[in-house]
Structure 1
Amino acid sequence: MSGHANAVIHRAPAPASPANAAVSALSAEHAALVANAYAGFARTIAYLSEDDQARVERAFAFAQQAHAGQYRNSGEPYITHPIAVAQLCAQWHLDSPALAAALLHDAMEDCGVSKQDIAAQFGQDVADLVDGLTKLDKLEFHSREENQAQSFRKMLLAMAKDVRVILIKLADRTHNMRTLSVAPRSKWRRISRETMDIYVPIANRLGLNATVRELRELSFKHLYPWRYQTLVKAVERVKARRRGMAERVRSELEKAFAQRQIKVRLLEREQELYKVYEQMTRKGLSFAKVSDIFGVQALFENVSDCYTGLGVLHQTYRPLPGHFKDFIANPKPNGYQSLHTALLGPSEVEVEVELRTEMMHVVAETGIAAHWLYQSNGMDRMLADSLNGRWLESMLEIENVSDDASEFLSDVKVDLHPESVYVFTPKNQILTLPIGATVVDFAYAIHSNVGDHIAAAMVNGQPASLRTVLKNGDTIEIITADDATPHPGWLEFVKTGRARSKIRSQLKHANQQETSALGLRLLTQALRVAGYNDLPADSPLADAIWQNLAILHQGKSREQILQDLGHGRLIANELVKQIGQVLQGLGLRPDALVLSKERLMAPAPAAVLAIGGADSAPVRYAACCGPLPGDAITGILVSGRGLEVHRQNCPVAERRRAKEPASFVPVEWAEEPVGEFDATLILHLRNTKGALAEATVVMAQSEVDIRRIDMVEEGRLEAIEIRMGITVRDLAHMELLLKNLRRARNVLRAQRFMAE
């Protein structure tokens, strides 16, 4: 919003008199300016009932009073901005609550008007709309980025519940961009970049193509003023030269359609400067190559005429191969429908043609706003089903599983890109996904439970990797398993915000469960060593213990305390001392039988934790030594990271043991370790051609996967040192690999890495 901080603000109830009474307090010049602006707006809202028009007029009077004494950078009274925003909304035929909210959209933020004030005057629906448009208090946040993320989150969620919020916001942004030239030049880049990154994609998603074009042009104009002006002049010169060619194309096409008695309305499609610039920079084309394209929109009465008209076009001019797209049968996610083709016209000029019905043209230009323009034509259902209902719902789902505002905004941005692929379920239901979407994105688009339990997939009847990128027309079958769960690696390749947010949520939940389980195991073992039986679950004794511990630990719950144990923020032995004091206060002492059992059965002063198996405790394997099943190991509880496993002879572990002996936990490998384990290999190779290739062949034959290769600068040395990140099954697998490598002709030395 754009109110001035130094404006004099008056808060008063709205006058009961008509709008002209609110204008009368201004100077004669400003009063005339505001009166003319409101008169133009009043003519635009003639589609409303008299009662609704009166409600909008009262909102104007209230806004005028609230913004009294405030002026824009241009020197105009501030109220001219809300009028302009409401005017843009009226062009979409939004209802009276939306128009009232458009007039009041800055009142809460800039004038100190409360939500209760607006609700009392204009109803709860208007108050909710204005609240959704109001930014958050900047004083609540530590940085501009955090405030921006939280404000966008609030606006997008309000939009998901009521799309009128974003339509008003887009109108607000459009008028601010139209008047950006009078703002300080230091703000141009930031505001234009924000418009391109957030508002243009949202408008595109909602099918508001006219708004998209205008916001893009205005952003381009203020981001790159010199380039913009240069292109303006170049395009004007091209238009002047091509006027005759354009008239010839129109005449020949009108004649061709008339001969077949097809009614059509032909519109010349204006070249969008930003698109010209984008093609020049992205494709490395000259202006002459990009501008040598003539665009036509052909509007018909019905769908069958669109397809018939396509045949007429292809008979009139030769079609260019690979340029036909059918967005009528397969609409874009924002509801856009058209047939696209490209023809070789007169003088070898490329003619791009879009064919659609008049109604499709309205939707193409106004998107979801067509609901208000054509409420009586069944547009509401079409828009809800095929335009944006699914996307708006997905935003609410992302919000439900996202704790962080920046993370939420990042996930939503992923879904703001309209380029799509069209794929099918085994029952031939079509789904629209962003370009680059994978099998996992498809699974989450079906249902979150399908995504959470995906185990395998078939693409076009053939087994496919979960990271397979989908193409137009693919048919995908998802195979699920009850024990399958999301993998952290999926976050590296999924494309949709829905999939990303769901995976994060499941991983976070699973990690919390695993960490709590580890904390409970550590606590149970420490209790047994101290001579106590397991804490009884759901009993008065257990309740008494956890209530006392909550007092000692800042009110933390049982689950939070266990997570602190699992994360290493608490040491089990210290917690057991506190529990012992509670138990002794209740008259309970260590059990001699438990103590003697523990001493007889445990090979060390504390019970040993098994790791590496299917049901083992969640741990991190230290990168400094890369422990493998078969190595002698030890465990360290590292604050914030949980249980970290090291090789027993690891120097890093030894230094930590000297500093924090209480953090050490005895661990051993499970009887049957599962999975593969990371290790780092150091190779010294002859500095000769083929040496590295020889080593990698040996590794492939040894069934070892390479994750990364780090090579020091070769120089003129006779030998080079290479570090490889690899995965192996266990110590025996590693020793076999080292044995095979040492036999290679060009391998001078091969050994495991351990930090010093």
Structure 2
Amino acid sequence: MMRQYELVERVTRYNPNTDEALLNKAYVYAMQKHGTQKRASGDPYISHPLEVAAILTDLRLDDASIAVGLLHDTIEDTDATRTEIDTVFGVEIGKLVDGLTKIRRLDLVTRRAKQAENFRKLLLAVADDVRVLLVKLADRLHNMRTLQYVPPEKRAAVAEETMEIYAPLAGRMGMQDLRDELEDLSFRNLNPDAYATISERLARLGERSHGLSGEIETELKRRLVERGIAAEVYGRRKRPYSIFAKMQRKSVAFEQLSDLYGFRVIVPQLEDCYRALGIVHTTWPSVPGRFKDYISTPKQNDYRSLHTTVVGPSRQRVELQIRTAEMNRVAEYGIAAHALYKDGEGGGRNIVRLTQESRAYAWLRRTIDMLSEGDTPEEFLEHTKLELFHDQVFCFTPKGMLIALPRGATAIDFAYAVHTDVGNTCVGAKINGRIMPLVTELANGDEVEIIRSKAQTPPAAWESIAVTGKAKSAIRRATREAVRRQYGGLGRHILERAFERAGKPFSLEVLEPALQRLGQPSVLDLLTAVGRGEARSEDVLRAVDPDAAGGAGTNGSRRPPPPRRRTTTERPSIPIRGLKGDLPVRFAPNGGALPGDRIVGILTPGEGVTIYPIQSPALKAFDDEPDRWVDVRWDVEPDADERFPAQIIVESINEPGSLAGIAQVIGENDGNIDNIKMIRKGEDAHEMAIDLEVFDLKHLNRIIAQLRARPTVSTVSRVNG
């Protein structure tokens, strides 16, 4: 177990101006509070906060963070209180310890709804001060290192939580080494057989290729020194989980993996990175498609480096990462690298100021800001997990703005990455100057121009195409809002009709005083409820003007009959423009309805209005529900190209070519067959129920007339469902 003076020495190595009194006080306080407590391993409990503090010193964090590492379990596991911590160590440290206490109480692997809400709380806890996350990651790392002492039933849950949440968060904060170790430890506990198998194969491979790593390091250094570059070169074998993930991702066996070794080349200056790359590529053949320049286009977690793969000595594929010492520091420490002391400066304010310069910290802040956009906890969790796990491609706008997207992203994702409004109004895309489908998968370096239309509303189907959480979330919100507007428009039409029938003027303003009585937060919510059938127009009228309610049909003896019984043409009616209109409309399930038909609408709660022809026998079922009848009328432009559903029954002689002849008539008349159901009526005849899509009643009648003229057709009739 680490001693008090050893901890202070570790901190003073990178911060000579450390507050030794603070560290000593935190050490003694934690020792006294945890007292005789034991860990599951049987070790004194104080060994855990000491190891957490040691990990934080490896990250070179400030004095307050080290103190919090020592104190992080005191409120949860001892009689210490937040007030006492504030008094002894100050409000800043008290706030950090309190944030960690709240995180510890969260269960991130429970059922999905609770997991999502807890994940929101986790990010909110780290929003104000990223040091809470850094201490939590150090805490989780030590717990994973000692997970073998935890009961098996709990072990799997902790490992799963680490793999799903904490390891990706560490990676998103740029702390790749910490992420690799967390993933490896989780993998060892979640899939011990696979871990053991890969580890064994790696060990055997190491024995066979003994000396290869040293040979490559020596040769690389020699080549670089000859060209005047004093570089550090060191190699390492990939970790078991990294290998397992690649095998799963590429569906290959262990024997098919050829790049199990990676080397880092640390050079003095930025320009030396590109010089070293040229030396490497002129010494050994490069593997096509394996070069990535993260210096000119850094990752969103601030990672910068040149990546390449070459065929080195012994025809072995070798991965190389070329970077400066400063880039390497950021690659190793991630967001913690922005908290390092400059010119001996220290203190909590310094760390917060520096982390605000970090792109990773900016991502964290943007993610927190999404909480205010109204997503459900489940949607927020989905969005954030997508953001955590992605690999990137880099694309450009026509003006040269760089857009980083997950691998597999489409033009739809690109549009939403530029701005939500751009995505919502997107109707097409030019990729590298050519008009391409919106579902086109983007590649590194693509230039994407989004074509927009103010009349566009994103289709709900886009959600299944989009890859990024931002796009999925925005599409879902836009779809909900479009449906809400549709129902709101329908509700307005229904209320206008009800008010006019009662002889009362209608306006949105007259509804506002009645909102509280109707239990609706806004006028739009009220209109939407009426459109959905969740609120009755008579109830709204009664709430607005109790004296007028009787005339609106609240009394059974005075209620007007269903609209189809009426003969007046002066009453207001709702315009029907088809399925693509601005109202939630469906057509009768059996037979549909066509422009040219006299029609009525039936309001179904939660589904909108179903349109029936006036002669439909199905309307009899609604005779006792006059409140559901809605006056509707066609409002279709003569040259509109939208088709409407209809169904016909055709009885035909059963002979070769009869079905082909019927289909030919329909096709020649520009009709579209959606479905056919055939029933055998005897040896020589069969009956076909044909679902059609036609423009209007005249179009359907023309098709019916020509079908009747066929010699193989005996009868044709339209279905009026």
Give the TM-score category using the shorter length: 0.7 to 0.9
Q: Give the counterpart of 1:534 among 498, 502, 506.
A: 506
Which residue is equivalent to 1:660?
625
- C-alpha distance 137-60 of structure 1, shift in aligned 2 (>3 A): closer
Q: Once superposed, what is the RMSD of the aligned Cα atoms?
A: 4.8
Consecutive unaligned residues in structure 1, runs of 5 or more = 1-32, 586-594
Cα distance in 1, alignment partners of residues 657 and 445 from structure 2: 43
**After alignment, is 619-628 or 732-741 more displaced?**
732-741
Provide Cα deviations, 1:43-101, integer angstroms capped at 9, x if missing partner.
33324576744344444555556656654322334443333333322321222333344
**CA positional deviation for 1:152:** 0.8
Select the residue among 150, 155, 160 that pairs with 2:117.
Answer: 150
Closer/same/farther in 2, CA of residues 251 and 651 from structure 1, 3 Å limit = farther
SS in 2 for 1:668: strand
Candidates 536, 542, 565, aligned match of 1:571 = 536
The answer to whether 1:322 aligns with 2:294 is no
Residue segments in structure 2 that go unaligned for 5+ positions in a row: 345-349, 551-559
Structure 1 pair 561–366 and aligned structure 2 pair: CA distance change class (3 A) = same
Separation (CA, whole Å) in 2 of partners of 1:702 and 1:52? 89
Report the residue type matching 1:444 in the other structure.
Y
1:463 maps to a residue whose letter is I
1:401 to 2:373 alignment: yes
Alignment of 1:164-563 (within 5 A): 164-290=131-257, 293-373=260-340, 375=342, 387-535=359-507, 538=509, 542=510, 547=513, 550-551=516-517, 553-554=518-519, 557-563=522-528
Identity of matched residues, %:
34
Where do 1:25-36 residues align within 5 Å? 33=1, 36=2
Q: Secondary structure at the match of 2:220?
A: helix
Q: How far apart are 1:126 and its partner, in Å? A: 3.5
* Higher mean C-alpha deviation, range 720-729 or range 634-643: 720-729
Shift of 1:737: 7.9
Distance in 2, matches of 1:649 and 1:141, equals: 58
Deviation at 1:282, TM superposition (A): 3.8
Matching residue's letter, 2:340: L
1:425 offset after TM fit, Å?
A: 1.6
Tell me the SS of whatever aligns to 1:189.
helix
Q: Per-residue deviation at 1:526?
A: 0.7
- CA–CA distance in structure 1, aligned partners of residues 24 and 687 of structure 2: 79
Tell me if the contact between 1:401 and 1:505 (Cα under 8 Å) persists in the aligned partners. no
> Aligned equivalents of 1:174 and 1:696: distance in 2?
69
Q: Aligned residue for 2:347? A: none
**1:30: which partner in 2?**
none
* Aligned-partner Cα distance in 2 for 1:108–1:577: 57
**C-alpha distance 66-308 of structure 1, shift in aligned 2 (>3 A):** same
Aligned residue for 1:262, secondary structure, equals coil
Partner residue of 1:19?
none
Q: 1:473 Cα shift?
A: 1.3
The residue type paired with residue 601 of structure 2 is G
Asked if 1 retains the 8 angstrom alpha-carbon contact of 2:578 and 2:644, the reply is: no
Asked if residue 45 in structure 1 is aligned to residue 1 in structure 2, the reply is: no
Point out the more displaced range, 745-754 or 295-304. Answer: 745-754
TM-score, normalised to structure 1, is 0.78
Asked if 1 retains the 8 angstrom alpha-carbon contact of 2:338 and 2:357, the reply is: no
Aligned partner of 2:576: which letter?
A: I
- Structural mapping, 1:20-169, within 5 Å: 33=1, 36=2, 39-46=5-12, 47-48=14-15, 52-60=19-27, 63=30, 67=34, 70-107=37-74, 118-135=85-102, 144-169=111-136
Greater shift in the superposed pair: 40-49 or 220-229 = 40-49
String of CA shifts for 1:555-612, please: whole Å, max 9, x gaps.
Answer: 7554443332122111112432444426699xxxxxxxxx9xx99x983796422222
Q: Is the 8 A contact 1:323 1:340 kept in 2?
A: yes
**Aligned position for 2:554:** none
Residue 477 of structure 1 aligns to a residue whose secondary structure is strand
The 1:505–1:223 alpha-carbon spacing in structure 2 relative to 1, beyond 3 Å, is: same
Q: Distance in 1 between matches of 2:711 and 2:130?
A: 69
CA deviation profile, 1:157-180 (whole Å, cap 9, x unmatched)? 343443323222222222222122
For 1:332-360, what per-residue CA distance to the aligned partner results, in whole angstroms no more than 9, with x for missing partners? 22222222222223332222222222222
277-286 or 358-367, larger mean C-alpha shift? 277-286
| Matched letter for residue 531 of structure 2 | G
Distance in 2 between the 1:440 and 1:351 partners?
A: 36
8 Å Cα contact 1:453/1:484 also seen in 2 = yes
Alignment partner of 2:266: what SS? Answer: strand
DSSP-derived class of the 1:157 partner: helix
Q: How far does residue 749 in structure 1 lie from its aligned partner after superposition? A: 12
Structure 1 residue 710 displacement after superposition: 11
3-state DSSP of counterpart to 2:39: coil
Q: Per-residue displacement from partner, 1:444-502 (whole Å, max 9, x unpaired)?
A: 22233333333443322223343333221111223444444443333222222222323
Encode CA deviations 1:205-253: one digit per residue, 9 max, x unaligned: 2221101210111111011112212222221122122113333323322
SS at match of 1:413: helix
Structure 1 residues 546 and 280 mapped into 2: Cα distance closer, same or farther (>3 Å)? Answer: closer
Secondary structure of the 1:212 match is helix
Matches within 5 A, 1:603-752: 603=568, 607-612=572-577, 618-622=583-587, 624-625=589-590, 627-630=592-595, 631-646=597-612, 654-655=620-621, 657-658=622-623, 660-672=625-637, 676=642, 679=645
Q: Secondary structure at the match of 1:428?
A: coil
| Shift, 1:267, TM fit | 0.5
Report the alpha carbon displacement of residue 508 of structure 1 after superposing the two structures with TM: 3.4
Taking a change above 3 Å as real, the CA distance of residues 745 and 110 of structure 1, as seen in their structure-2 partners, is: farther
Query: Residue 207 of structure 1 contacts residue 334 of structure 1 at CA under 8 Å; is this kept in 2?
Result: yes
Cα distance in structure 2, aligned partners of 1:206 and 1:746: 74
Instruction: Give the match for residue 21 of structure 1.
Output: none
User: How many Å separate the matches in 2 of 1:432 and 1:97?
Assistant: 35
Change (3 A) 1:386 1:140: closer
Pair 1:613–1:297, CA change in 2 (3 A): same
2:553 matched to 1:581?
Answer: no
For the 8 Å contact 2:307–2:320, the answer to whether it is kept is yes
1:400-444, CA deviations, whole angstroms, 9 ceiling, x for partnerless residues?
A: 213411111111112113311111121222221112222232222
3-state secondary structure, aligned to 2:210: helix
The alignment partner of 1:478 has SS state of strand
Is residue 518–residue 618 contact of structure 1 (8 Å, CA) maintained in 2?
yes
- Paired residues of 1:115 and 1:127 also in contact (CA < 8 A): yes
Could you say if the C-alpha distance between residues 53 and 320 of structure 1 is closer, same or farther in structure 2, counting changes exceeding 3 Å? same
Q: Which moved more, 1:622-631 or 1:695-704?
A: 695-704
Aligned length: 697
Whole-Å separation in 2 of the counterparts to 1:291 and 1:232: 16
SS in 1 for 2:276: helix
| TM-score, normalisation: structure 2 | 0.81
CA gap of 1:637–1:39, structure 2 versus 1, over 3 A, is farther
